[in-house]
Amino acid sequence: MDNPLLQDFNTPFNTAPFSKIKEVHFKPAIIKAIEEARKEIDQIVENKEEPTFKNTLEVLDFSGQKLDRITSIFFNLNSAETNEEIQKIAQEVSPLLTEFSNDITLNKDLFNRISTVFKQKDSLDLSSEQKMLLEKRYKSFVRNGANLNEEDQNKLRDINKKLAKLTLKFGENVLAESNDFSLHITKKEDLSGLPEGVIEAAKMLAKQKKEEGWIFTLDYPSYIPFMTYADKRKLRKKMAKAFGARAFRNNNFDNQEIVLKIVQLRHQRAHLLGYKTHAHFVLEERMAETPEKVTGFLNELLEKAKPAALKDFNAVTKLAQKDEIKTLEKWDGAYYSEKLKKERFDLDDEKLKPYFKLENVINGVFTVANKLYDLNFEEIFNIDKYHDDVKTFKVTNQNGEFIAVFYADFFPRKGKRNGAWMTSFKDQWKKDGENSRPHISIVCNFTKPTETKPSLLTFNEVTTLFHEFGHALHGMLANTTYPSLSGTHVYWDFVELPSQVLENWCYEEEALKLFGRHYKTDEMIPMELVKKIKDSSNFLEGMATLRQLSFGLLDMAWHDNDPSGIKNVKAFEVKAFGDTQLYPDVAENCMSTAFSHIFQGGYSAGYYSYKWAEVLDADAFEAFKEQGIFDKETATKFKENILSRGGTEKPMKLYKNFRGKEPSVDALLKRAGLV
């Protein structure tokens, strides 16, 4: 069988030939690519010459590139365009990939070569990037068991294999549970309060499913507007309970046992490697460094945010009491918050949406990138896509030089997980005089166009697009030698800085003027609306901060303790939420069983990094505001010290190179209105 994944792609910009790739190609291609990568490792180990940075570290960093390409294509599809066949293959190939990864880090001869070079590091004439690669690679071998005896190495292999399968299964269960529920409405009065566009989208979905009436799902573009606007409290309750019960229903897709197994295996692995807990293991390679520092950081913010959160909560409760609601429940929060926002600012998403047509917002974010970093985006139609919804762009600089391929995938569908993320199909690197450019993708779940309206974004969706595009810029502008240090390959609590800092432009008049145009009249967004967006930017920020802190503290509770005594996921979670709880608990609901960030994504013992990065982004944006939000000099400093440098230096050094000082928490507290 001709396998397109194993041949040279021979496509424009060497992009993935999606139209030729079938599910049946993946497993054989991955097995073959592992075989080839093993040979590359053997060549390093069998080299009779003395180990040097060039013949060991450099060769190792460029090894397995075919495998990296194939697996990035495969796992990106498993997130954005999956099906039962892809999920089955993922379960089959994940243990093979884990085993191969273990075979590298537990290869004694390979580690000896790296160790030899590492011991000479002070006498070698290495650049700062080479020093970083050497240090990172040496530490990654040690942190993955290179110094363990054979018996413990075998235990580690077993743990890693089990974890790979469990985290995959966790995600599959959440997706299955999200797809399993829908709210089918047949009476028009049950739609009371819902905006016209939301009703139209629900009607369209019902039509697709050959049903009468309207269908609402747990996909964000359907779920969030329903919870925000639906007047029928019992229907909001039904939706909220379904959302909160995902993978917590004692059925085939239940994640309770999986959560307990994952945290226990992570703890066992940390212990085996000589760390007190999984959090100690993870945080050694983060800016925050220790669990104590993270917990101190979260609790300091909690102390500042809690009085504001209680004040916010009381204001929302008071409004709900006018409707004779004695106790504010979770299914009332978004609904009455939106009413309060309207009351205070005369502002709601329905007023704003006509000014945020998706295509205009895309052009807006492209214009912002052009003004800041001289990037040009041209939609192209000669490269393959994995779904018709995907848009593809060629990115160039002001000299017309090729910078990146950019994929954008905006709408929900059955085979796509909820949320929004940035990823890459190919990293950037330099070799043999060539600067090989990256292929970057963002995946979102925005409101689809209907028969009468284009895709109109809520303001929250606008900030989400800017956020993911900030990550994309980090990938696109990468300019490093080694693939493992390129783009977003940075400390996890630093990776959110480029994404979160770009959100700030959404609140600035100068930027909003670029893309806020009415979809029917092309009229510019009125300045009084811009002022209201600005004035309301920290509306209910106390509650929002408390919510983020609750997730960070739950994450730390799972990972900064010995979990062997935990028998009940729900009881443990309720205790962890203790200091941050505002709403009464819902017995049938559980956050942990669908907390994909920490049990499927890479955020275990790292959820705090969203708040950590907010401190960095608030401080960094102050630099832009001081000089003007499109100031070229500030943008160039940010590009050269942060965006293009990837993980070539310690993050704090890169940040200080840009800002001239360490970040201060004061900028965040000021912006959030918490001081």
Q: In terms of DSSP H, where are the helices of 484-568?
A: 497-503, 509-515, 527-535, 541-559
pLDDT digits (tens, 9 = 90+) for 314-349: 999 999 999 999 999 999 999 999 999 999 999 888
The kind and range of the H/E element at 442 are strand 439-443
Give residue 350's pLDDT: 87
226 pLDDT higher than 80: yes
Mean pLDDT of 218-230: 95
Integer CA distances (angstroms), 136 to 42, 132, 133, in order: 21, 6, 5
pLDDT digits (tens, 9 = 90+) for 495-509: 999 999 999 999 999
Does residue 384 sit in helix, strand or coil?
coil
Residue whose structure tokens are 């069983």: 593
Topology adopted by domain 256-344+541-607: Neurolysin; domain 3 (1.10.1370)
User: Between vectors from CA 474 to CA 138 and to CA 611, what angle results, nearest 5°?
Assistant: 85
Please give the single-letter amino acid code of residue 652. M
Does residue 556 sit in helix, strand or coil?
helix
In the chain, pLDDT over 70 holds for what percent of residues?
100
Counting Cα atoms < 13 Å in the Cβ hemisphere of 306 gives: 12
Mean pLDDT of 265-277: 97
Rounded (to 5) percent helix, strand, coil in the chain? 60, 5, 30
Instruction: DSSP letter for 267, please.
Output: H
Give residue 667's pLDDT: 86
1 pLDDT higher than 80: no
- 576 vs 567: CA distance, rounded Å: 14
- For 195-352, strand residue ranges (E) read 214-217
Range 4-147: architecture per CATH: Up-down Bundle (1.20)
pLDDT digits (tens, 9 = 90+) for 601-632: 889 999 999 999 999 999 999 999 999 999 99
169 pLDDT higher than 80: yes
In the chain, pLDDT over 90 holds for what percent of residues?
95
User: Between vectors from CA 508 to CA 505 and to CA 509, what angle results, nearest 5°?
Assistant: 135
pLDDT digits (tens, 9 = 90+) for 279-292: 999 999 999 999 99
pLDDT digits (tens, 9 = 90+) for 56-100: 999 999 999 999 999 999 999 999 999 999 999 999 999 999 999
Same fold, 256-344+541-607 and 354-535+610-671: yes
Q: What is the 3-state secondary structure (H, E, C) of 568-627?
A: CHHHHHHHHCHHHCCCCCCCCCCCHHHCHHHHCCCCCCCCCHHHHHHHHHHHHHHHHHHH
Give residue 673's pLDDT: 87
pLDDT digits (tens, 9 = 90+) for 501-554: 999 999 999 999 999 999 999 999 999 999 999 889 999 999 999 999 999 999
Range 354-535+610-671: architecture per CATH: Orthogonal Bundle (1.10)
Q: Structural domain boundaries of the chain?
A: 4-147, 181-236, 256-344+541-607, 354-535+610-671
Strand 376-379 versus strand 391-396 pairing type: antiparallel
Is 620 exposed, middle or buried (CB count within 10 Å of its CB: 0-12, 13-18, 19+)?
buried
User: Taking the C-alpha atoms of 320, 321, 326 and 328 in order, what is their torsion angle to the nearest 10 degrees?
Assistant: 20
pLDDT digits (tens, 9 = 90+) for 361-410: 999 999 999 999 999 999 999 999 999 999 999 999 999 999 999 999 99
Q: How many CB atoms lie within 10 A of CB 192?
A: 12
Of 591, 492, 605, 592, the C-alpha closest to 266 is 605
- For 268-420, strand residue ranges (E) read 376-379, 391-396, 402-409
Give the mean pLDDT of the chain. Answer: 96
Residues with catalytic function: 468
301 pLDDT higher than 90: yes
96: phi then psi, degrees, rounded to nearest 5 = -65, -40
**Residues 497, 617 contacting (CB under 8 angstroms):** yes
Give residue 18's pLDDT: 98
260: phi then psi, degrees, rounded to nearest 5 = -65, -40
Give residue 580's pLDDT: 97
633 pLDDT higher than 80: yes
